[in-house]
Amino acid sequence: MLDLLLQTSVNAIYASSYMALIAVGLVLIFGVMGVINFAHGELYMLGAYAVVYFYAENDYPFFLSVAIGLVFVGLVGLAMERALFRPMRGNPLGGLIASIGFLLILQTLAVVGFGVRMEHITPPTQEVVSLLGVSEVTVPLQRLYVIVAAIVCLAALWAFLRYSKFGVALRACAQDPEAAALQGISMNQTARTAMFIGAALAGVAGALTAPLVRTYPFMGHSVIVTAFIIIIVGGIGSLEGAVVAAILYAFVNTFVTTFSDGVIADIVGLMLMLIVLVVRPTGLFGVKDRA
Amino acid sequence: MRDGKAMNAGRAWRWAIGLGVLYAGLIVLPHVLSFSQQEIAVFLVINVLLVVSYRLLTLTGEWSLGHVVIMGVGGYASALYAKEVGIPVPISMLLGAVTAAVVAYLLSFPLFRMKGFYFLIGSFAAGEVIRLLWKRFRYPFGGPKGLKLIPSFPDINIGGWTIDFFGPVNYYYLCLIVVSLSLFVLYRLERSRIGLTFHAVHWQDQLAESVGVNTWRYRTLAFVVASFFAGLSGTLLAHYIGTVNPTRFDVEQMVFVLIWAIVGGTATIYGPILGVVVLTILNEVVLRKLGLDEMRPLFYGVLLIGSIMFLPNGLESLGEKLRPRRREPADGNAEAKAGAVPEG
């Protein structure tokens, strides 16, 4: 029984790692631009398809494919910022609806490019390592990559926001766009940076997990639902909240799935979000209401 | 004053003639269509009710993402009442719509603690929970495959003349009657004191509250009434196709309702109708002819982005934009404007 609990915890840590990447990107975009990117799940999907195209179909090395996916999805994010969110600035609902339109476009492009079938990607490594010296508690090396990459990305993001000039500007814009503009911070530049980072984080999550999940054009749907639950529970606009809520949600979801079933786990997650919305709409870490 | 009255009468006549021509066209319509087009016409009429009821909800300023699930609640409820309990179909349909309204009333307690984006996400979550419950519980909801063999609408016997509702033509007429009555009710409701209060709750909620309007109650009322008619449209759908399942009411369908409403515009009752009619014709006639089934979502995505950016008030505003400014007489202008809102 202890083995099972430990094993489930390891699985939950893996799930929370990539969910945190997605949710943090979503929060970053919301924080700076005040818009909820409904197409975030599709950015994750694009990252996964970058690995399908470069790694599975054209035999590029796995980590090079992941890097290409990161840059490519980041560029798509830049395009979204320029074409959709900048004209819609000051109209959050308009930006959200425009991103729903963009989501349909990305899904169709994936269907046209790759077909609706599920992609089979052989993981670059099939190796399984046992943890803590207990042979029953194991983790596939591929999952370990995801966990390590997520920690590295999040730590880099934290350092970037904390110490770099851009990071300070980004946080200033998130706190008070007008005051930031008065200090000479370029709103457009900041929005571009946030959008690139936010999209790239979703892309890297998709690229890393592509061999481990079912990769198909509509995979973004369940991802965006999960991401919404996480950012609401964590407090919309709070990066720390997103990480903590991702861990919390992943543990609840993994344990309920293991000991009951997946649909019940989804219902529990949604109920968790509804309760937070009713009892404490600012979430666990939210400070002020921006939506 | 006399001028205003004359104008009112003139307007009323023009309206009556316009409606008469419209309905003559709608009655003839199925006889010039092919069988598959007749089926599309049935769905179109049902969708008109769905999107117009959605607009009622948006009047108070809240955009829900759970409206299609509420439609499904009507469909599932009516199907279960007819199939498992044995209630005759027309009554079960009414009860189905009432069930949708009751579910909406219960949901309003948690949901109306939220506003704006939070309401959007909250309504989405609530809808997903309902949908997952249908998926999870094989009894009574039939699980992922849903309910099948739902009893159809019974034959009507008028003096030895039997009308059956198995084919699309007669069902089209049935839907046309039900939807027309519903639209009339919704139209009158909006023009009534209650409807005006909905507008006030949207644009000036604090002012409305300060003069003693209970905004919570009016928002709930709009939500419940909109859900009743969404549920009704769900029952019309369920008893026509004879099956309901969770995928039929998923978020993709909701996106379509959103597109119809936004492309058409939500300022008037005609906007969403225009949106659903134009897009259905485009979808079924143009895209199907071109054989671009795969590309359809792309087309909708481009359309949605284009209309939110370049035509934010929808197709209904196109007439106003293209029409040269009407000459406004200096006198009698006030009467003409007053005449635009019917008495009562």
Reported confidence tier of residue B336, pLDDT bands at 50, 70, 90? very low
Q: Are A94 and B312 a contacting pair at CB < 8 A?
A: yes
Question: Which run of H or of E encompasses A131?
Answer: none
Predicted confidence band at B337 (pLDDT cuts at 50, 70, 90)? very low
List CB contacts (< 8 A) between A88 and chain B.
Answer: 308-309
| Neighbour-count burial for B5-15, b at 16+ CB within 10 Å, e otherwise | eeebeeeeeee
pLDDT > 50? residue B1? no
Beta carbons within 10 angstroms of residue A283's beta carbon: 23
B244-300 tens-digit pLDDT:
999 999 888 998 999 999 888 888 888 899 999 999 888 887 777 777 777 888 888
User: Within an 8 Å CB–CB cutoff, is residue B132 touching chain A?
Assistant: yes
Residue A92 in tokens: 């959050």
B132/A267 touch (CB, cutoff 8 Å), yes or no: yes
Residue of B309, B311, B313 to mutate for A, most A C-beta atoms under 10 A: B309
List the one residue out of A165, A118, A126 whose CA is nearest residue A144. A126
Q: Which residues of B touch A112 (CB under 8 A)?
A: 294-295
* The total number of residues written for chain A in this structure: 291
For the CA atoms of chain A, what is the radius of gyration? 19
Instruction: Give the residue ranges of chain A where pLDDT is below 50.
Output: 289-291
B179 touches chain A (CB under 8 A): no
Confidence label for B6 from pLDDT (cuts 50, 70 and 90): low
The average confidence (pLDDT) of chain B is: 85
pLDDT over 70 (residue B338)? no
pLDDT digits (tens, 9 = 90+) for B141-170: 988 899 988 988 888 888 778 888 888 899
Over residues B192-203, mean pLDDT: 84
Q: For the purposes of burial, counting CB atoms within 10 Å of the CB of B340, is it exposed (0-12), middle (13-18) or buried (19 or more)?
A: exposed
Alpha helices (H) in B137-214, listed in sequence order: 138-141, 168-191, 193-203, 205-210
CA distance B19 to A45: 49
Q: Where are the beta strands (DSSP E) in chain B?
A: 156-158, 161-163
**pLDDT tens-digit series, residues B67-101:** 999 999 999 999 999 999 999 989 999 999 999 99
Q: Are A87 and B308 a contacting pair at CB < 8 A?
A: no
Model pLDDT, residue B116: 77
Q: Is B135 on the interface with A (CB under 8 A)?
A: yes
Write down the pLDDT at residue A23.
95
Question: Can you tell me the ipTM of this complex?
Answer: 0.86
Between the alpha carbon of residue B137 and those of residues B100, B127, B245, the distances in Å are 19, 16, 12
Q: What does the pLDDT read at residue B342?
A: 35
At residue B113, the pLDDT reads 84
* Record: contact B258-A100, CB cut-off 8 A: yes
Q: What is the pTM of this model?
A: 0.87
User: Which among B122, B133, B298 is the nearest to A104, CB-wise?
Assistant: B298
B34-79 per-position pLDDT tens digit: 888 899 999 999 999 999 999 998 888 888 999 999 999 999 999 9
Provide, as residue numbers in chain B, all residues whose Cβ is less than 8 Å from the Cβ of A267: 129, 132-133, 136
Cβ <8 Å between A277 and B125: yes
Higher pLDDT, B341 or B328: B328
pLDDT, residue A48, reads: 95
Query: Nearest CA to CA, how far is B288 from chain A (Å)?
Result: 16
What's the confidence (pLDDT) of residue B326? 53
Q: Could you tell me how many CB contacts below 8 A there are between chain A and chain B?
A: 104
Q: How confident is the model at residue B331 (pLDDT cuts 50, 70, 90)?
A: very low
Nearest one of A212, A168, A159, A216 to A193, comparing CA atoms: A168
Residues of A in contact with B122 (CB under 8 A): 274, 277
